Structure 1
Amino acid sequence: MTNPDRRRVFISTGEVSGDLQGALLIEALHRRAGDRNLALEITALGGKRMARAGATLVGETADIGSVGIVEALPYMLPTLKIQRRAKQRLAANPPDLVIMIDNMVPNLALGKYMRAAHPQVPVLYYIAPQQWVWAFSEQDTERLVAQSDRMLAIFKAEADYYQRFGGNVTWVGHPLVDRHPAPANPVAARQQLGLARDAAVVTLLPASRRQEIRYLLPVLLQAAQIVLAKYPGVTFLMPVSNPAMQASFERGLVQYGLPGRVVMEDSQTAIAAADVAITKSGTANLEIALMDVPQVVAYRINPLSARIGYYLLKFDVPYVSPVNLVVNQPVVPEFLQWEATPEAIAAATLELLHNETARQTMRLGYAKMREAMGPPGACQRAADLILDTIV
């Protein structure tokens, strides 16, 4: 076999979910490139998962993320420093392709730089920001489309939205379908965690961002206290996606007198073992649904950010949880900001613990959601379309 051709790819993303999606894409790119006798040199703004998948990190962005205007302020300077480093790397070694993943504000800035400094380098957006859900400005959508030579969408509604603005968009389906091809096995998960087969288990997923430790963690722990009072004997599991949060989770269990433990680096097993998950809104909602575990979703941000969004920016969407957004139906209960009280979250959790009909109704919604996420092979389809751009 002849020596493989070599191509340079730069990937830019942020936060824990972007790191996961970036890692899944990088693994698929390397597999499909090997089939084409093509060698890839991938550099990235991302996190540890992307590094393990084969990317050389120019800057770590998995911990730099927020929701809300006030919450974003502390991350402005670190983001600017990482952007400067990325631009220096791109100037010194222009890639054959730039791939953007979500992370709208930093990636809009990077896209503007690429168009001005390296107009010959194609820019591809994979998993575009969810403007189709909560666009405050169509101008941002127009900028995203103008900066992207091609867009690969993981949601059908995402593809339809960007096509309406003239985007060159292909719907590839959602990569998590491959990661969770079948419902979880709770018996095996409990055995792995040393739990009794018939134990009552509630898994808490309160935070992957620092702001969520402050605004959401106490609310979920208080809800867990109410559940425990009404359902004695329940065990609480708290998987940690970000090791920096381990101490806060452990202190929370002790402070609120909750029986259970923190689970390190095994979040899927902790979810699989659960009768119900109480979780923040985000990508984890989709994973929990694909694992067929009933869930209650909640989210809170800084009250000032919430008021700015609600009263000044007129932020008003029917759903926030991706599970509900995929099918545009209330599959899972979601409690946002002022509605996210410990009492409301606990009541919804207890309903799922006690009511088998409610559990089965949610699972029927999960089945509809899975179908709407597209067939297996999303990462492979995305990787093939990306490689077609640079061969």
Structure 2
Amino acid sequence: MNPRIGMVAGEPSGDLLAARVIQGIRKGAPGSVCEGIGGPGMERAGFKAWHPMDALTVFGYVDAIKRLPGLLSTYLNVKRRWLGDRPDVFVGIDAPDFNLRLEHQLKQAGVPTVHFVGPSIWAWRYERIHKIRAAVSHMLVLFPFEEEIYRKEGVPVTYVGHPLASVIPIEPDQAAARNWLGVDQDARVLAILPGSRRSEIRLLAPRFLQAARILAQQDPELQFLVPMVNGRRRAEFEAILRQHPLRNCRIIDRQAGPAGASGQPDAADADAADAAHADRGARPPAWNVMEAADAVLAASGTATLEAALFKRPMVISYVLSGAMRRIMAWKSGQSRPYVPWVGLPNVLARDFVVPELLQDDATPQKLAEASWRALSDHAYAAQVGERFRIMHESLQRDTPALAAQAILAEAGRG
């Protein structure tokens, strides 16, 4: 069986997930063809990209409106191609606004559809379940509590675990991460992650930097590491940093090689070191930063789950503009989520394991106080780390194999 598989991923996180799934598909069906819209990780796994992932990457409602003509053109192009030459199965990775529409059209035409990463109906707009049921032949979910939701609603579902739980080690290696980044092993380090969207940088970075300045008064030797996803976000952050200058602050992006390496290892050690360095160089910059840090101050999002998998105590924050809050309330009919938590680690734990400082509570003083506890209270940090260890183990599954098995089963029915 050599199925043709249509795929669409529209975010860096989706590219990472899809790349591993493609690897699983290739193991189960070596002659399979995966094509559609994707990113560099998918292409490295053998994906044939008709359109780059950036064609779907938007940052908020305003950006979506501005880019609507291009988004519509891309949507119509892939829909026409797949309806004209139907794949054996279609897989939409996240990007629900785009993918669920496409999945509905393809399913009506007889193409089995798989959606990977369930929309957060447990937090916002539960009524979307009716649209999902009409559009999706099989749902693949990342979190164990989601399986019960979809099964109850009559949507075929498989809990595949979160692939990050198998990639990020159970035991973080802080010393190796610090060696890679050239950070003193005895330093106290705070990772600052103000988000990957322009609006997040604009609204969160000033508060985070002001909080960091308060912390620097308490510990003048405190080190700050700020990972950036791309040059555009880095430039935006640097402009804000000039307004709020901070000692001992380093911005980290893709590194070409290890920092601070010295000595002449023997051949065997050199080979092992080269492999380790290649692995660290291929990682997202935020992973090395979080592994090197003692604590994390982060915008709510996937980064908070990554910080939890690295067993780091953290402070989660988020701020929406007044206009964005009104748009979200109008679109969802809700002023707040169904659940009392916003950060993924707390949602999974069903508890406020780490603090969430949102909207008016996201003041520099409160952010600094919560971050200082994460940095200085070692008993608290150990307790949080143990909760995250249990969470990590619950999310570990052979995600590529489980996802590939479900996708290839649907392809066989197509």
SS in 1 for 2:308: helix
Amino acid in structure 2 at the alignment position of 1:320: V
Q: Is the 8 A contact 1:250 1:261 kept in 2?
A: no
Match of 2:170 among 178, 182, 190: 182
Match of 1:358 among 349, 359, 380: 380
Aligned counterparts of 2:299 and 2:180: Cα–Cα separation in 1? 25
Q: Is the 8 A contact 1:326 1:372 kept in 2?
A: no
The within-5 A match list for 1:138-149 is 138=127, 140-149=128-137
Q: Give the match for residue 218 of structure 1.
A: 206
* Residue 47 of structure 2 corresponds to residue 55 of structure 1: yes
SS in 2 for 1:293: coil
* Residue 317 of structure 2 corresponds to residue 295 of structure 1: no
Q: Is the 8 A contact 2:21 2:399 kept in 1?
A: no
**CA deviation after TM superposition for structure 1 residue 221, in Å:** 2.0
Aligned counterparts of 1:17 and 1:327: Cα–Cα separation in 2? 22
Q: Give the match for residue 65 of structure 1.
A: 58
Match of 2:139 among 139, 148, 151: 151
* Residue 403 of structure 2 corresponds to residue 382 of structure 1: yes
**CA deviation after TM superposition for structure 1 residue 249, in Å:** 2.9
Aligned counterparts of 2:341 and 2:207: Cα–Cα separation in 1? 20
Q: 1:364 to 1:7 in 2, by over 3 A?
A: same
Q: Is the 8 A contact 2:209 2:241 kept in 1?
A: yes
Amino acid in structure 2 at the alignment position of 1:257: P
Amino acid in structure 2 at the alignment position of 1:64: T
Aligned counterparts of 1:98 and 1:8: Cα–Cα separation in 2? 9
Q: Is the 8 A contact 1:132 1:157 kept in 2?
A: no
SS in 2 for 1:236: strand
* Residue 3 of structure 2 corresponds to residue 7 of structure 1: yes
Aligned counterparts of 1:278 and 1:174: Cα–Cα separation in 2? 22
Equivalenced residue count is 377
Match of 1:28 among 24, 27, 32: 24
Match of 1:17 among 13, 22, 40: 13
Aligned counterparts of 2:130 and 2:310: Cα–Cα separation in 1? 36
* Residue 75 of structure 2 corresponds to residue 79 of structure 1: no
Identity rate, percent: 32
**CA deviation after TM superposition for structure 1 residue 324, in Å:** 0.8
* Residue 318 of structure 2 corresponds to residue 329 of structure 1: no
**CA deviation after TM superposition for structure 1 residue 72, in Å:** 4.3
Q: 1:76 to 1:197 in 2, by over 3 A?
A: same
Higher relative CO (Cα under 8 Å, sequence separation at least 6) belongs to 2
Amino acid in structure 2 at the alignment position of 1:390: A
* Residue 288 of structure 2 corresponds to residue 269 of structure 1: yes
**CA deviation after TM superposition for structure 1 residue 189, in Å:** 0.9
Structure 1 unaligned residues grouped into runs of 5+: none
**CA deviation after TM superposition for structure 1 residue 366, in Å:** 0.7
Q: Is the 8 A contact 1:172 1:378 kept in 2?
A: yes
The within-5 A match list for 1:277-316 is 277-309=296-328, 313-316=334-337
Amino acid in structure 2 at the alignment position of 1:25: V
Amino acid in structure 2 at the alignment position of 1:169: V
The within-5 A match list for 1:84-103 is 84-103=76-95
Aligned counterparts of 2:209 and 2:190: Cα–Cα separation in 1? 11
Q: Is the 8 A contact 1:253 1:261 kept in 2?
A: no
Aligned counterparts of 1:93 and 1:226: Cα–Cα separation in 2? 60
Q: Is the 8 A contact 2:210 2:364 kept in 1?
A: yes
SS in 1 for 2:151: helix
Q: Is the 8 A contact 1:238 1:262 kept in 2?
A: yes
Aligned counterparts of 1:337 and 1:58: Cα–Cα separation in 2? 40
Q: Is the 8 A contact 1:10 1:42 kept in 2?
A: yes
**CA deviation after TM superposition for structure 1 residue 319, in Å:** 0.7
**CA deviation after TM superposition for structure 1 residue 355, in Å:** 0.8
CA-to-aligned-CA distance 1:305-339 (integer Å, 9 cap, x gap): 22454585332331111111112111121122222
Aligned counterparts of 1:43 and 1:77: Cα–Cα separation in 2? 23
Structure 2 unaligned residues grouped into runs of 5+: 255-284
Give me the TM-score of the superposition, normalised by structure 2: 0.85
Amino acid in structure 2 at the alignment position of 1:380: A
Q: 1:214 to 1:61 in 2, by over 3 A?
A: farther
Q: Is the 8 A contact 2:170 2:389 kept in 1?
A: no
**CA deviation after TM superposition for structure 1 residue 380, in Å:** 1.6
SS in 2 for 1:59: strand
CA-to-aligned-CA distance 1:254-281 (integer Å, 9 cap, x gap): 4322222221123221111101111111
Q: 1:307 to 1:125 in 2, by over 3 A?
A: same
Amino acid in structure 1 at the alignment position of 2:229: S
* Residue 88 of structure 2 corresponds to residue 105 of structure 1: no
Q: 1:143 to 1:177 in 2, by over 3 A?
A: same
